[in-house]
């Protein structure tokens, strides 16, 4: 029995995770899998009520008691520092050492991309973002804070182990899925120490995958190519900061942040799955948020815990909704968030 910890989070996170869990319950019913969903309140409301952002032992307890975590967006204007969001998100990513951030860029319908003359076959690749170090390592500080002489330092931490394991994961993925090329993107022409390490490790790891072509692109050139000729990419691997930036671009190529799914993975251990978009407080509770990214994230989570057939069925239902214009306003349709979820549940029954 798969056990899933659900953290709906803040803002539209709550709206779309409701649809994701609706779809999970429906697929459980259809395929006779007993999926256990336990809800956790961590988010702005919980923080404002209790003063607790994320309990110290939560990450360990999730690892021990659950097969996966399904997380909604975090962020709320009532918590201007967004401390709760950082504690929860980084508490999970760092606390559970979820070193792979897996973000597919897959266009489901040519009408959704802002790129002229590009279709589904042109926009179909995956990005692996290092998820535990780099500029996100929280090393550094401020000196003479608040004075005209202030110095702020944010260290970019690249460890051999950290770089090696994400690059190796990208090659493993490529081999498993029959991809012929892995593109590593960095800024080694300027960030010589850290990204020099990426260059060396990339060569070292590639030697174990002789059938896969190693390609290197500086990140400034890569973003240009993602727009100009996305069909050239299969698998991209990069550091935490660049991965954050290029996956937002990737999300737009597939129809916007509301379409994008992501997995925060530690191979062989409990992993966490979250849609890429933010909490968009302005749109919260209005039944207008796009739930497809959250639903596709639920599918990714099922696939990860070995329910590939069920995941494929959910993806089929999403595609069905999109080609039949059963979409939210953001995609040109006229359905509310909940109505999209209802349509998907109905479609699942028909497609099964």
User: What is the SS3 assignment for 110?
Assistant: helix
Q: Considering only 218-226, 239-247, 259-267, 311-319, which stretch makes contact with Mn ion by CB under 5 A?
A: 239-247
Q: By beta-carbon distance, which residue lies closest to ligand IPM? A: 244
Q: Cβ 150 to ligand IPM, closest distance in Å?
A: 23
Q: Considering only 72-80, 138-146, 147-155, 238-246, which stretch makes contact with Mn ion by CB under 5 A?
A: 238-246
Q: Which does 6 bind (CB under 5 to 8 A by kind): Mn ion, ligand IPM, none?
A: none
Q: Cβ 248 to ligand IPM, closest distance in Å?
A: 7
Q: Cβ 136 to ligand IPM, closest distance in Å?
A: 7
Residue 185 near residue 219 (C-beta atoms within 8 A): yes
Q: Considering only 101-109, 134-142, 240-248, 297-305, which stretch makes contact with Mn ion by CB under 5 A?
A: 240-248
Q: Cβ 33 to ligand IPM, closest distance in Å?
A: 28
Position 244 contacts Mn ion (CB under 5 A): yes
Q: Considering only 59-67, 161-169, 241-249, 334-342, which stretch makes contact with Mn ion by CB under 5 A?
A: 241-249
Q: Which residues, 6 or more positions from 344, have their beta carbon under 8 angstroms from its beta carbon? A: 19, 22, 23, 26, 295, 314, 317, 318, 321
Residue 34 near residue 1 (C-beta atoms within 8 A): yes
Measured from the CB atom, is 6 or 317 closer to ligand IPM? 6
Q: Which does 35 bind (CB under 5 to 8 A by kind): Mn ion, ligand IPM, none?
A: none
Measured from the CB atom, is 274 or 310 closer to ligand IPM? 274
Q: Cβ 243 to Mn ion, closest distance in Å?
A: 9
Measured from the CB atom, is 156 or 244 closer to Mn ion? 244
Instruction: Decide the pairing of beta strands 235-238 and 124-130.
Output: parallel
Residue 90 near residue 272 (C-beta atoms within 8 A): no
Residue 181 near residue 174 (C-beta atoms within 8 A): yes
Q: Cβ 71 to ligand IPM, closest distance in Å?
A: 10
Instruction: Decide the pairing of beta strands 263-265 and 100-106.
Output: antiparallel
- Round to whole Å and give the CA distance between 97 and 95: 6
- 38 CB neighbour count, 10 Å cutoff: 12
Instruction: State the Rg of the chain over Cα.
Output: 20
Measured from the CB atom, is 2 or 293 closer to Mn ion? 293
How many residues interact with Mn ion (rule CB under 5 A)? 1
Q: Cβ 241 to ligand IPM, closest distance in Å?
A: 8
Residue 106 near residue 135 (C-beta atoms within 8 A): no
Position 274 contacts Mn ion (CB under 5 A): no
Token readout for 28 is: 């459980």
Q: Cβ 244 to ligand IPM, closest distance in Å?
A: 4
Token readout for 335 is: 């359905």
* DSSP letter assigned to residue 336: -
Site for Mn ion in 48-87 (CB under 5 A): none
Tell me the CA end-to-end span of the chain in Å, nearest whole number. Answer: 21
Measured from the CB atom, is 19 or 244 closer to Mn ion? 244
C-alpha angle with apex 295: 291 to 300, nearest 5 degrees? 145
- 339 CB neighbour count, 10 Å cutoff: 17
Measured from the CB atom, is 261 or 345 closer to ligand IPM? 261
Measured from the CB atom, is 2 or 8 closer to ligand IPM? 8
Q: Give contact residues for ligand IPM (rule: CB under 6 A).
A: 89, 244
- 196 CB neighbour count, 10 Å cutoff: 14
Binding site for Mn ion (CB under 5 A): 244
């Amino acid at each position: 029995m798969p056990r899933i910890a659900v953290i709906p989070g803040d803002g539209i996170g709550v709206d779309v995770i409701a649809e994701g869990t609706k779809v999970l319950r429906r697929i459980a019913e259809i395929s006779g899998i007993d999926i256990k969903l336990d809800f956790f309140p961590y988010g702005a409301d919980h923080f404002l009520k209790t003063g607790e952002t994320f309990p110290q032992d939560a990450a360990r307890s999730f690892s021990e008691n659950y097969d996966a975590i399904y997380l909604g967006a975090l962020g709320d204007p009532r918590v201007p520092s967004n401390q709760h969001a950082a504690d929860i998100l980084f508490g999970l990513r760092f606390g559970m050492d979820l070193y792979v951030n897996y973000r597919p860029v897959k266009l489901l319908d040519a009408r959704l991309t802002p790129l002229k003359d590009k279709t589904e076959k042109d926009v179909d690749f995956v990005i692996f973002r290092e998820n535990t170090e780099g500029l996100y390592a929280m090393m550094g500080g401020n000196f003479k804070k608040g004075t005209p002489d202030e110095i702020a330092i944010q260290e970019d931490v690249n460890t051999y182990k950290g770089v090696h394991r994400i690059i190796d994961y990208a090659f493993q993925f490529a081999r498993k899925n029959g991809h012929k090329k892995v593109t590593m993107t960095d800024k080694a022409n300027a960030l010589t120490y850290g990204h020099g390490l990426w260059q060396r490790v990339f060569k070292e790891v590639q030697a174990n995958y002789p059938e896969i072509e190693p390609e290197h692109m500086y990140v400034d050139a890569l973003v240009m190519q993602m727009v100009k000729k996305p069909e050239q990419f299969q698998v991209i691997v990069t550091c935490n900061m660049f991965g954050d930036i290029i996956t937002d671009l990737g999300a737009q190529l597939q129809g916007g942040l509301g379409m994008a799914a992501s997995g925060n993975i530690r191979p062989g251990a409990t992993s966490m799955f979250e849609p890429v978009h933010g909490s968009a407080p302005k749109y919260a509770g209005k039944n207008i948020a796009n739930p497809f990214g959250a639903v596709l994230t639920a599918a990714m989570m099922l696939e990860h815990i070995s329910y590939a057939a069920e995941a494929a069925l959910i993806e089929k239902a999403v595609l069905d909704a999109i080609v039949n214009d059963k979409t939210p306003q953001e995609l040109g349709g006229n359905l509310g968030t909940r109505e999209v979820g209802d349509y998907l549940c109905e479609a699942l029954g028909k497609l099964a």
